[in-house]
Amino acid sequence: MAHVTRLARSAPSSLLCTVSASLCLTGHIARFSGPGPLLRETADESPARSYGELDAAAEIWRRTAVLVLRPSPSPSRLQFFAKLKAMKRFVYINDESYQNDYCDNRISNTKYTLWNFLPKNLWEQFRFVTLSATKEAWDDYNRYISDRQANEKELWIVKNGSRKHIQAQDIQVGNIVWIRENEEVPCDLVLLGTSEPQGVCHVETAALDGETDLKTRVIPPPCVGLEFDQLHKLKGVIECPVPDKDIRRFDANIHLFPPFIDNDICPLSINNTLLQSCYLRNTEWACGVAVYTGNETKLGMSRGVPEPKLTAMDAMIDKLTGAIFLFQLSLVVVLGSAGNIWKDSEARKQWYVKYDDDEPWYQILVIPLRFELLCSIMIPISIKVSLDFVKSLYAKFIDWDEEMFDLENDTPAHAANTAISEDLGQVEYVLTDKTGTLTENKMIFRRCCIGGTSYGNECGDALKDVELLNAIANGSPHVIKFLTVMTLCNTVIPIKSPNGSISYKAQSQDEDALVNAAANLHMVLVSKNGNIAGRMSVVVLDCQSGKILLLSKGADEAVLPCAYSGQQTKTFVDAVDKYAQLGLRTLCLAWRELESEEYAEWSRLFKEANSALTDREVGVPETIEILRQSGINFWMLTGDKQSTAIQIALLCNLISSEPKGQLLYINGRTEDEVARSLERVILTMRITSSEPKELAFVVDGWALEIILTHYSEAFTELAVLSKTALCCRVTPSQKAQLVKLLKSCDYRTLAIGDGGNDVRMIQQAHIGVGISGREGLQAARAADYSIGKFRFLKRLILVHGRYSYNRTAFLSQYSFYKSLLICFIQIFFSFLSGIAGTSLFNSVSLMAYNVFYTSIPVLTTVLDKDLSEKTVMQNPEILLYCQAGRLLNPSTFAGWFGRSLYHAIVIFLITIHAYSNERSEMEELSMVALSGSIWLQAFVVTLEMNSFTFVQLLAIWGNCIAFYAINFFISSIPSSGMYTIMFRLCKQPAYWITLLLISGVGMGPVLALKYFRYTYRPSAINVLQKAERSRGPMYSLVNLESQLRSDKDTMMVPVATTPVKGKSSVYEPLLSDSPMASRRSLGSSSFDIFQPAHSRTSYPRNIKAN
Amino acid sequence: MGKMTKRRLGNSVISAFLLVGVIFVPIGLASLSASKEIVELVDRYDTSCVSVADKVGFIQNSKTDKTCTRTLTVPRHMKSPIHIYYQIGDFYQNHRRYVKSRSDKQLRYKEAAHLTKDCEPEGNTADGAPIVPCGLIAWSLFNDTYKVSINKKAIEVNKKDIAWQSDKNNKFGSNVYPSNFQKGNLVGGAKLNESIPLSEQEDLIVWMRTAALPTFRKLYGRIETDIMENDQLTVVIQNNYNTYSFGGSKALVLSTTSWIGGKNNFIGIAYLTIGGLCIFLAAVFIVLYMIKPRYVMFPLV
């Protein structure tokens, strides 16, 4: 047996502990049989949770479980089972006669069946035209292909005692399945046997939970030691819960039928299972009985496609689309009825139209349906395609961004979710994890306090502390024990490489750090088994002395209360506090000899890692500072203790120390205490909200639990009042709850974290950002965006988020503008064509208008930058425009609506007057109107673009040329309706004069308004643009801030006191003068910077400060 | 540091508006003068040519004499070619039912005579034979005729090449002859000579270029001689076409042409208005700029 921990060289050579253990911790016995010493370990907590909370139902079940042990149940019992089956399932091992109606192991990821594809898909696509149906079908086909590959994989099973070679999809519940090394587990199995004599095997669970370390799985005690042949004949029953998706929990019992030992029920846990999609590693073979198959496996149950995240912008666009749809419907009804009335009163007199006098009743629907057809283009189909396209480009920009490339880890930023870039620009709350997010999560063994003596100094780490080294050399018993605990009490799996060096696969960073530190101190872990969480204990047998030791490690709160009374725990408490204040993560190690009950000496040592001083990630305080300037509120949610969290927060600029800032504590053990504390904090917040003091509240997990259950309303108020919060000792589910709470207040939330405990929060938030750091990739995989370093967040939000928001705001509104434009022209024309629903434009032109002429130029908006990245970074306050949704809201939309109406009127009136009388030929007139639309849209795009690159110019004016080229081409086809039209038009001076007139009349007022506003009522964006255009970004933050504040004062007052609902816009649509704009008088004091007389004295100072 | 310079904003706007004004005003003047040069005579005859009260009854009766003589005085010298148009008001050639009631294939190809699907209700005769040319447009072909004489001397109205050459060559077949046309109970408009191919039926070709607006002019023919000032123009009209039942109007138009096309003051006036407005706006901006100057200060770094 290789469970050997060897303390080499300087350690006393006697401490070669081959350990073996038997332990009974929470009432159940972990038994083992078989030769050789064996190390077993059990969590203190998890069994307690599984068994301590047995409710009545489970008790009843436990009793019935005894009943089933007999192989042939009577019919009445079978009925009884049928009832129970609703709650439980019974798996008869290797016994076809009990075959069941559980699903087989066929997996199916496809969304549709052959029969429901059409109706289901049509329904899903109903809201928008089924452009993506083909893509859906293709994706689903690919899923089907990969499913089939998995389903048809061949493997060995035992069925009714004989071995068979079958396809994975034919596995039935109860079959015994054999898996070889590096094979994927085909369904959820309960482990029965492995090639390893000690009954363990290793699995990689990366596909399931994203953790890359190997996990150890053990054979349930009754099956330990079964021979290969015996496994074929094994019979028994496993009682397990109905399928669920909890991959950390499996509360089941196994009972083997005679002749196999045991008439006892043996409990099973997740450690006895092999779950679907895991890989078997470092083990020659393993076999297990299938308990969940097909889509009922833990993976299958949890696979459910996560709810697609909808951005605030998408929601707004949907809302506007809905409004336009209603508008369209009412137009159809009004025009349809008008058309019918006109038809009856006028058209019947028009003999040349030849209406029948007695026509069928449904003729009354013809005109409304004609108008529906004309107006259907009002909702641009192209908007979805264009938005999908630009969104995928935004995502690519993030992927390609070299400034977000993490050189250290060689990882680029990645946008896994391509659809939500705009939301980045609208973030209002950032919820961040501490460990590894604000800190780099590099665990280094820094300090320890052993038996009252502190090792390690200010700057160096404990490993280099001469005193510690001396103590080891001298074999000081405390220190040796300390190192033993460090080495053994963990879940690290040592892997010996051929050249003899040993590397460790650890489940967590702290364990890795500890074992490596111990290794550096000459305590080398050679081989072991293990697993656990929280506080962890290991029982080892010291072969040398025959003593049984309980080694324990955990957070101070967990360990210290267990310390033997009378010990001088104070030293340790002090040490823990001291270390915590340095921003170090602390752990306590303890050991206890089990044999001699009285003798208990606690050795505690604190080790730590990274967190504070030197390891704090580069650029974190600056990032937080910039993002807070841009109006984003920060909440820190961490599992760390309060003092550590506060320390980190201070170091990260998250909170300010007195007197600039103030921390308000919400604490208490009981409901009353917490309630009082909460009330006090809220009062303080209300009172001081006017003062320029940075307030933050601190709450710990315990109090938070009470608050969230009983005082969630008060807490919501607090959440709205407070810009900063520290939540310590919170669990993953509490993190997610907090996110949910902020979401319910209609804030845009961004959760950022790097560990598995952040996954739920990341999935819950509007935007999840994962740091692809050292703590595994779980968070990064679950996240919408993964970045290498926390400091990239500011670029992600301020640059990518902001640009995305601006661009989408323009693109979506422009799409409506151009569709409305052409639609309005059609409607105006219908008034001149007897309200019968004649289309002015031919179908080719209409199609090309949406697909080519107007789509391509505007796509170059993805390159548009209203302000340079540098300016944005220097003036993060400008993000406010995005956060408050000022560039896309009903009032800006009304501006675009008005503009399209105005342009339609201009085009229509000028066209029908210029091309009247002898020139009023239908094809010519329609082409003049279409050309007018194309010209105007080119000017509009040009006007709305802020930066000009070659690509943009090419797209806009190249598009105009392409318009003529396409129409010349169509005009040269004799069979087309447009034959020769374009050539004729281009020869007429009147055509060009008309177009020039349309452009002048259409753009003149728009331009005048825009420049009037730009000059006399500039927005903050305009101010920065002016600065940029003239001499580079010279405006001081102070001035800009004052302007933004004045914006806020007039418009954003509600922010401070109530949840933001009325996000008013300051962005004035060009054609509708917003009342907001007029509220600010022309010579408003907030624009002092334009008045040379006033501010000249103070201005230079600002410059200098800048 | 700290040394400031002033930069005036707004110059670009003002100059942009001035520029637009400077460009638009000349174009407006040119268009307007071109339009003014054109001599145009418009004579609405539909009411005065029918003196009876029951105008619809009069026009629908095939027995009545529909000859009508109109005398016009030419106000200015008209240079040839002088275009003769007929102008119809409140006639919806752009009506949905009307505009699509034609078969382009049938007009072009002899063998496509049976393609009359879009032409209903003027697709086939009562006994099912296809009408060529089918459809409401052809069926309602304008059938007033004009005989023009100047100072009592009859002159020839050239009705050649009044249709687009491209239509004659590529839209209407030279081997497609009218058949079954206007043979139904209801006669819509003009009848066609069945011995002339469609490509030579220029009145039909002109008529079938449907107008987008309810009031439109279509070319009737050209007068190839100049008409002097104060010449007496006599037009003998066969007033056949029924615009009375729907309250439409008919007018005879004689017009010279210029580079801008027919007489159209709209473009010139619009250009002058916009150009003037731009100059006015520029002036306003300048005044605003004088009264309330906007300075932006930029440091010299």
Round to whole Å and give the CA distance between A745 and A713: 11
Q: pLDDT of A412-425, one tens digit each?
A: 888 888 888 888 98
* pLDDT (tens digit per residue) in A418-460: 888 888 989 999 998 875 556 554 556 666 666 666 666 555 5
CB pairs under 8 A between A and B: 204
CA–centroid distance for A963 within its chain: 43
DSSP collapsed to 3 states, chain B: CCCEEEEECCHHHHHHHHHHHHHHHHHHHHHHHHHHHCCEEEEECCCCCCCCCCHHHHHHCCCCCCEEEEEEECCCCECCCEEEEEEEECCCCCCHHHHCCCCHHHHHCHHHCCCCHHHCCCCECCCCCECECCCHHHHCCCCCEEEEEECCEECCCECCCCCCHHHHHHHCCCCCCCECCCCCCCCCCCCCCCCCCHHHCHHHHHHHCCECCCCEEEEEEEECCCECCCCEEEEEEECCCCCCCCCCEEEEEEECCECCECCCHHHHHHHHHHHHHHHHHHHHHHHHHHHCCCEEEEECC
The residue among B213, B253, B281 with the most chain A CBs within 10 A of its CB, best to mutate, is B213
pLDDT at A513: 63
CA A856, A859, A864, A866: dihedral to nearest 10 degrees? 110
Pick from A838, A993, A1089: which is nearest to B95 by CB? A838
CA atoms of A513 and A486, how far apart (whole Å): 10
Most confident of A274-278, A684-688, A907-911, B148-152: A907-911
| A25 pLDDT more than 80 | no
A314, A433, A700, A784: which one is catalytic?
A433
Residues making up chain A, counted from first to last: 1106
CA B34 to chain centre: 18
Residue A830: per-residue pLDDT: 94
Residue range A382-412, pLDDT digits in tens: 788 888 889 989 999 999 998 888 887 788 8
CA–CA distance, A460 with A393 (Å, rounded to integer): 47
pLDDT at A1104 over 80: no
* For the ranges A289-303, A756-770, B197-211, the one whose mean pLDDT is highest: B197-211
pLDDT for A67 beyond 60: no
CA distance B296 to chain A (A): 5
pLDDT for res A573: 64
Residues 79-98 of B with CB under 8 A from A: 83, 85, 87, 91-98
Q: What is the pLDDT of residue B76?
A: 92
Binding-face residues of A in 1022-1041 toward B, CB within 8 A: 1026-1027, 1030-1031, 1034
**For residue A774, what pLDDT band results from cuts at 50, 70 and 90?**
low
B70: pLDDT strictly greater than 70: yes
Residue whose C-alpha is closest to residue A1064's, from A809, A927, A889? A889
With a CB-CB cutoff of 8 Å, which residues 162-181 of chain B face chain A?
A: 164, 166, 170-171
User: How far does Cα A394 stand from its chain's mean position?
Assistant: 17
Least confident interval from A154-163, A922-931, A944-953, B110-119: A154-163
- Determine the pLDDT at residue A1034: 44
User: Closest by alpha carbon to B82, among B127, B38, B51?
Assistant: B38
Q: Which pLDDT band holds residue A804 (cuts at 50, 70, 90)? A: very high
Specify the range with the lowest mean pLDDT, choosing from A12-21, A821-830, B138-147.
Answer: A12-21
Residue A689, C-beta contacts closer than 8 angstroms, at least 6 positions apart: A695, A721, A1056, A1057
Q: Kindly state the percentage of chain A with pLDDT values over 70.
A: 62
From A540, A741, A748, select the one nearest A630 (Cα to Cα).
A748
Q: Is residue A605 very low, low, confident or very high in pLDDT (cuts 50, 70, 90)?
A: very low
CA–CA distance, A422 with A801 (Å, rounded to integer): 5
| Residue B68 CB-density burial (10 A; 0-12 exposed, 13-18 middle, 19+ buried) | middle
SS3 letters across A941-956? HHHHCCCCCHHHHHHH
Give the model's confidence band at B24: pLDDT under 50 very low, under 70 low, under 90 confident, else very high.
Answer: very high
Residue A433 known to be catalytic: yes
Best mutation target, A359, A905, A920, to test chain B (most B CBs within 10 A): A920
Q: According to the model, what pLDDT value does residue A111 have?
A: 58
Q: d(Cα A761, Cα A738) in Å, to the nearest integer?
A: 8
Q: What is the pLDDT of residues A972-1003, one digit of tens each?
A: 998 888 899 999 999 999 999 999 999 999 99
How far off is chain A from B300, nearest CA to CA, in Å? 9
Would you say A648 and A612 are in contact if contact means Cβ atoms under 8 Å apart?
Answer: yes
What confidence score (pLDDT) does residue A489 get? 63
Average pLDDT over all residues of chain A: 72
- In A, residues 268-307, which contact B (CB 8 Å cutoff)? none
Average confidence (pLDDT) over A960-965 = 93
**Mean pLDDT, residues B131-136:** 92
Model confidence at B53, in pLDDT bands (50, 70, 90)? Answer: confident
Residue A734 φ then ψ, to 5°: -65, -35
- Residues A860-868 have a mean pLDDT of 87
On the CB side of A408, CA atoms within 13 Å amount to 10
Flag whether pLDDT at A36 surpasses 70.
no
Summarised one tens digit per residue, pLDDT across range A725-758 is: 888 888 777 888 888 888 888 889 999 887 767 7
Tell me how close the Cα of B228 comes to any Cα of chain A, in angstroms.
Answer: 24
Kindly report the length of chain B. 301
When pLDDT is cut at 50, 70 and 90, the band that residue B63 belongs to is: confident
Instruction: Name the percent of chain A lying above pLDDT 90.
Output: 16
**Averaged pLDDT, A493-521:** 61
Considering only the beta carbons, identify the residue of A346, A354, A1030 that sits closest to B136: A354
Is A139 or A749 the better-scoring residue by pLDDT?
A749
- Supply the pLDDT for residue A583: 54
Per-residue pLDDT band at A263 (split at 50, 70, 90):
low
- Decide which of A17 and A188 is more confident: A188
A1090 vs B296: CB contact, 8 Å cut-off? yes
CA A715 to CA A730: how far, in whole Å? Answer: 16
The pLDDT of B161-176, averaged and rounded, is 92
Confidence band, pLDDT 50/70/90 cuts, at residue A586: low
Is some CB atom of chain B closer than 8 A to the CB atom of A357? no
Residue with the bigger pLDDT between A1030 and A418: it is A418
On the question of pLDDT at A29 being above 90, the answer is no
Task: Tell if the CB–CB gap between A834 and B94 is shorter than 8 Å.
Answer: yes
What average pLDDT score do residues A566-587 get? 59
Predicted confidence at residue A669, as pLDDT, reads 79
Cα(A756)–Cα(A742) distance, rounded to whole angstroms? Answer: 21
Rounded to the nearest angstrom, the minimum Cα separation between B136 and chain A is 6
Predicted local confidence at residue A27, as pLDDT: 31
Instruction: Return the higher-pLDDT residue of B264 and A491.
Output: B264
> Does A900 score more than 90 pLDDT?
yes
Model confidence at A612: pLDDT above 50: no
Please give, rounded to a whole number of angstroms, the shortest distance from the CA of A994 to a CA of chain B. 7
Strand-pairing partners, residue A700, are: A728
Question: So what's the pLDDT on residue A146?
Answer: 74
* Confidence grade of residue A640 (pLDDT, cut at 50, 70, 90): confident
Per-residue pLDDT tens over the stretch A338-383: 999 999 888 888 899 888 877 888 888 989 999 998 898 888 877 8
Per CB-CB distance under 8 Å, the chain B contacts of A1092 are: 4, 6, 295, 297
Cβ–Cβ contact A1067 with B under 8 A: no
Q: Calculate helix-pair angle for A1020-1031, A989-1016, nearest 10 degrees.
A: 100
Give the minimum alpha-carbon distance from A893 to chain B in angstroms, rounded to a whole number. Answer: 26
A1092 to B96: CB separation less than 8 angstroms, yes or no: no
Say which of B12, B20, B211 has its CB closest to residue A921.
B211
| Confidence at residue A302, expressed as pLDDT on a 0 to 100 scale | 60
Q: Which of the pair, A1011 or B60, is modelled with greater confidence?
A: B60
Give the model's pLDDT for residue A1080: 31
Between residues A550 and A33, which one has the greater pLDDT? A550
Q: Are A371 and A329 in contact (CB under 8 A)?
A: no
A926/B contact by beta carbon, under 8 A: yes
Q: Which residues in chain B have Cβ-Cβ distances shorter than 8 Å to A994?
A: 267
Among A832, A977, A1096, select the one facing B214 at the smallest CB separation.
Answer: A832
CB contact under 8 A, A1092 and B247: no
Contacts of B289 (CB under 8 A, 6+ apart): B8, B10, B14
Give the SS3 label for residue A785: strand
Q: Given this model, what pLDDT does residue A547 score?
A: 60
Q: Which pLDDT band, with edges at 50, 70 and 90, does A603 fall under?
A: very low
B10 contacts A346? CB cut-off 8 A = no
pLDDT at A560: 55
Whether residue A187 contacts residue A171, with contact meaning beta carbons closer than 8 Å, is answered with yes
Exposure string of A664-697, with b = 16+ CB inside 10 Å and e = fewer, is: bbbebeeeeebbebbeebbeebeeeeeeeebbbb
**pLDDT beyond 50 at A26:** no
Among B91, B94, B278, beta carbon nearest to A838: B94
Q: Determine phi and psi for A590, rounding to 5 degrees.
A: -145, 155
Question: What is each CA distance from A446 to A435, A460, A573, A613, B58, in whole angstroms?
Answer: 16, 7, 17, 12, 114
pLDDT at position A172 is: 84
Task: Provide, as residue numbers in chain A, all residues whose Cβ is less than 8 Å from the Cβ of B259.
Answer: 989
Q: Work out the pLDDT band at B15, boundaries 50, 70, 90.
A: confident
Contact A355 B97 (CB under 8 A): yes
Higher pLDDT, A470 or A399: A399
The tens digit of pLDDT for each residue in A174-184 reads 888 888 888 88
Distance, CA of B55 to CA of A177 (rounded, Å): 99
pLDDT at residue A660, rounded to an integer: 75
Top pLDDT among A867 and A52 is at A867
pLDDT band at A812 (very low <50, low <70, confident <90, very high): very high
Q: Judge whether residue A531 has pLDDT over 70.
A: no
b/e map of B165-181 (b: 16 or more CB within 10 Å)?
eebbebbbbeebbbebb
